Structure 1
Amino acid sequence: MTSTRPGSRPSGPVTRTGGPLPVDNRALLDGAAVAWLSLDGEPAGAVLLRDPLRHDAPRTLRHLRAAGIRRLLMLTGDRAAPAEEVAAVLGLDEVRAELSPADKVAAVRAEREHAVTVMVGDGVNDAPALAAADIGVAMAARGSTASSEAADIVLTTDRVDRLADAVVIAQRARRIAVQSALGGMLLSLAAMAAAAVGLLAPAAGALLQEGIDVAVILNALRALRVGQGAHPAVTPAAEALIHRFADEHHDLQDVLDAVRDTADRLSDAPGPAALTALEETHRLLVERLLPHEYAEEHELYPALAPTLGGPEATATMSRAHTEIERLSRRIATHLELAHAHGGLAPGQLDDLRSCLYGLDTVLRLHFTQEEENYFSLAP
């Protein structure tokens, strides 16, 4: 089980209360909280606050299930709507929202009646539930001292995928320990049986026992060997590229916002101002977004291919690059037609809005997939 970390981040710029989608409706659709802003006592706008999903969470949960964790729950004090959205994205078995610390303890104790239970948390509110679980895991990098003191295991990095690594390491260590103990005992029993019937002289038996001990110790030492954990290892060059393109994703958020805002403007008032906005959006696509996608295709993906098992692993993401370029070219063609006819024709608006909204959807999905599947490979 896991709980969302406290704190929220703004999901976008200040939003007007008027326009195509009122703030309350936008907050409901996005699962966001609203912070209203006022100027001289009058409402001036609002900021939508969302708690973003950790990029490494989907990979972590996949590996936890592969490691034998059968049931995954989310216990959170947050509202039900964003919690259910997170649960749907991660494929959780159950989500329980708007819980108090006492409710979390009760939920953990109920799960303990069915199986060994692991609780993961990072806040003060999680400390009682961590203590109540069979195994409590605290995220100490940003968590509280109380949760760290209540937990059995403390992860010192702010990465959930280290939990999957810990499970894999523990399972491997236990398997090696069982192999060494059983193997050593069986070999010793066989040697004693042979000595008992006179097939093994005392001196030879003593030497054989020493050999058995050495073999068992060498087998146990395999636990010290660092294997591939829950996430594939990347080369230093690939890791540098991941950090570079992750930073570019952050810098390109204003381009994504411009695409969506221009589509909204075409729906609201398709006049000269809308054409100007469309021209600015096209400039951002050509000068900033498309070079980023091209560099990903020709630098990042080839660098990640050996880690991911070959170029086929990035084939679907490459198809998204093609679609982004196709929609950008279509928008450019609409601009050429508008310049040729002195403005946007009514017959262009439906297809142009479709291109912009489609591009917005593809870009946001593509960015999320890259962040979860590729960028989460690097610390």
Structure 2
Amino acid sequence: MKQSDPAAGRHRLRRSLLGWAAGGLALGLLLRAVWPAAAPLVLGLATLPVLAVLLRDILRRLGGGTAGFDLLSALSMSGALALGEPLAGAVVALMFTSGTFLRDFAEGRARREMTALLTRQPRQATRHADGALEVVPLTTLRPGDRLLIRQGEMVPVDGHTLGPAVLDATALTGEAMPLRLPAGDPVFSGAINIGEAFDLLVERPAAESTYAGIIRLVEQAQAERPPMARLADRWALGFLAATVAIGGAAWLASGDPLRALAVLMVATPCPLILAVPVALVGGLSRAAAAGVLVKGGAALEALARVRVMLLDQTGTLTVGQIRLVEAQPLGALSAEEVLRLAASLGQASGHAVAAGLVAAARHRGLALAAPEEVQEATGAGVAGRVEGHAVAVGGAEFIANHVAPGNFPPDGAHLPGTVRSLVAVDGTPAAVLLLADPLRPEASATLAAARAAGIQRVVLLSGNRAEVAEAVGRQVGADAVLAGRSPAEKVAAVLREKPEGPVLMLGDGVKDAPALATADVGVAMGARGAAANAQAADAVVLVDRIDGVVEAIRIARRSRRIALQSGGAGIGLATAGMLAAAAGWLTPVQGALLQEAINVAAIVNALRALRA
């Protein structure tokens, strides 16, 4: 993403001031050896432009919380020039400009994973049109358009493959393994085509695509100032008052104004103002690299404190797609023929069970026919004609209208977590189908890792039937299972858990958005292009896995710890230096050099938040 003109101008000005201060200081030191009379003038000229720009910025931001740091630097340079210590003033000018430059460098490095998401945003797409190809802006794409995705190109919008595809989602999700997708599989924008060119059927406009939503979230995260950083600004103003008090007391006690100047030189709230944001932005960057986009420092700080985790079931702990587990034929028709007829009928239904049957039939290479005379009872079953046969698929009550239920075996014991669906063909029992939404392979390990990371209580919060939810809860080792909960009841459950400690809610879909918004930290499964839950959440999982959430918790806790270390240790060292300067143990120049050493140490320590 190109810098805006004002941002580029500020960067050029800072670089120019750094060069001016460094060059002036170097020339002044040289003149002290060969032409001492000229040295003070050169050192003063090295300081004045930096001081002038600094005073201008102070006037612009006088009511802002960041004025403490600027005022200390301005007082230091002004005092040095007024008391005839131009060398100390030039050192502070260099320290100030280099500290600002170092902060920009550190924050730029810390933001690299998030910035990479922005710079990779595509602007155009190649669309099939009347037997030819045309390059068009993304804003012109509509659902149903057919795009050509060449090797090396980013998928620009969400859609479905019209042929096999091999994708690299590493930069977006942190998933290192290539994704190998068959024809008909969903593809989410932001992945890179590393295989042969393939065609994509557009599912939603570019503005509503997964990657566009991620871009909006990144921009929001980069613009937000975290509470810890805002608190640091307030502390910096208090630190200014303490500095002036210590310097004034030293002056009054000794009668030497240079002691007050030395106190100003060594005083620095930079570890708070510079190092704390660097550590938190570093944590945001690491979380993005792990496949979790945290919406700013406030959310990262909250994530570092969570103790209770609530999880939705469908699409969160499970893959969110009904799959055929077993087909039990009951008559003359084979299991594959019954599946073919049921899936053919299922093409006319939008129910998850019908989608699972269609997917299972296509996976087996079965040729599906077009259904006719379709009648569907929402949530109960579907009936119609396929190749002249009367076919019905559904639960026992629905099938009772098409065949006597006594002709089916009773609903006895079957695999935990499975759903039983019945198939009748021409009024005769044809098969019992067992379907399930399978558990994510990483689910159990993720919850075990969450406990190791400091989560004290895990609750499965599901809208599913108690039988299915409790089976899943037992498999993953949840402390409690709350089944059959409506969106309003999920909100109530989140509120009940808050006395146990800060609550994290992980969910997907519109049904979870109120609970995500109510939790201390709402984390949305955003890999499938969900919108309402992503907007309500504080963080979004970019990859279709949940183990990145635990890594994000670890990263958040480490980043917050490093931020506190950098700020606390830096201010402690600065306070010790101020007392030493007040006692007359440090000259103004030595105080300025100590200030820069503390700044560099605090920022270098804050950059540890970037390391895995």
Alpha-carbon distance between aligned partners in 2 of 1:14 and 1:126, rounded to the nearest angstrom: 35
Q: Is the 8 A contact 2:416 2:471 kept in 1?
A: no
Aligned partner of 2:19 in structure 1 is none
Larger strand percent: 2
Which one-letter code corresponds to 1:194 in the other structure? A
What's the offset of the Cα at 1:88?
1.4
Q: Is the 8 A contact 1:38 1:44 kept in 2?
A: yes
Secondary structure of 1:171's aligned partner: helix
Which one-letter code corresponds to 1:147 in the other structure? N
Alpha-carbon distance between aligned partners in 2 of 1:143 and 1:93, rounded to the nearest angstrom: 30
Deviation above 4 Å: which 4+ runs of structure 1? none
Aligned partner of 2:304 in structure 1 is none
* Deviation readout 1:251-305 (Å, 9 max, x if unpaired): xxxxxxxxxxxxxxxxxxxxxxxxxxxxxxxxxxxxxxxxxxxxxxxxxxxxxxx
Closer, same or farther in 2 for the Cα pair 1:23/1:206, shift >3 Å? farther
Larger helix percent: 1
Alpha-carbon distance between aligned partners in 1 of 2:485 and 2:478, rounded to the nearest angstrom: 17
Aligned partner of 2:505 in structure 1 is 119
What's the offset of the Cα at 1:132?
1.1
Aligned partner of 2:591 in structure 1 is 205
The CA RMSD over aligned residues, in Å, is 1.9
Alpha-carbon distance between aligned partners in 2 of 1:157 and 1:73, rounded to the nearest angstrom: 22
Which one-letter code corresponds to 1:8 in the other structure? I
Q: Does 1:10 align with 2:320?
A: no
Q: How does 1:205-354 map to 2 (within 5 A)?
A: 205-225=591-611, 227=612
Q: What are the ranges of 5 or more consecutive residues in structure 2 without an aligned counterpart?
A: 1-309, 315-319, 332-407
Aligned partner of 1:99 in structure 2 is 485
Alpha-carbon distance between aligned partners in 1 of 2:529 and 2:507, rounded to the nearest angstrom: 8
Alpha-carbon distance between aligned partners in 1 of 2:574 and 2:410, rounded to the nearest angstrom: 75
TM-score (norm 1): 0.56
Q: Is the 8 A contact 2:312 2:461 kept in 1?
A: yes
Residue among 493, 508, 516 paired with 1:130: 516
Aligned partner of 1:304 in structure 2 is none
Q: Is the 8 A contact 1:23 1:46 kept in 2?
A: no
Secondary structure of 1:46's aligned partner: strand
Q: Does 1:110 align with 2:496?
A: yes
* Count of aligned residue pairs for this structure pair: 223
Secondary structure of 2:327's aligned partner: coil
Aligned partner of 1:335 in structure 2 is none
* Deviation readout 1:40-76 (Å, 9 max, x if unpaired): 1222112111121111111111111111111100000
Q: Is the 8 A contact 1:76 1:98 kept in 2?
A: yes
Alpha-carbon distance between aligned partners in 1 of 2:480 and 2:530, rounded to the nearest angstrom: 26
Closer, same or farther in 2 for the Cα pair 1:104/1:62, shift >3 Å? same
Closer, same or farther in 2 for the Cα pair 1:30/1:59, shift >3 Å? closer
Closer, same or farther in 2 for the Cα pair 1:94/1:130, shift >3 Å? same
Alpha-carbon distance between aligned partners in 1 of 2:329 and 2:554, rounded to the nearest angstrom: 46
Q: What are the ranges of 5 or more consecutive residues in structure 1 without an aligned counterpart?
A: 228-379
Q: Is the 8 A contact 2:417 2:472 kept in 1?
A: no
Aligned partner of 2:473 in structure 1 is 87
Alpha-carbon distance between aligned partners in 2 of 1:121 and 1:111, rounded to the nearest angstrom: 16
Secondary structure of 2:411's aligned partner: helix
TM-score (norm 2): 0.35
What's the offset of the Cα at 1:143?
5.9
What's the offset of the Cα at 1:26?
3.5
Which one-letter code corresponds to 2:326 in the other structure? G
Alpha-carbon distance between aligned partners in 1 of 2:529 and 2:468, rounded to the nearest angstrom: 21
Name which one, 1 or 2, has greater alpha-carbon Rg.
2
Secondary structure of 2:584's aligned partner: coil
What's the offset of the Cα at 1:218?
0.5
Aligned partner of 2:411 in structure 1 is 24
Aligned partner of 1:49 in structure 2 is 435
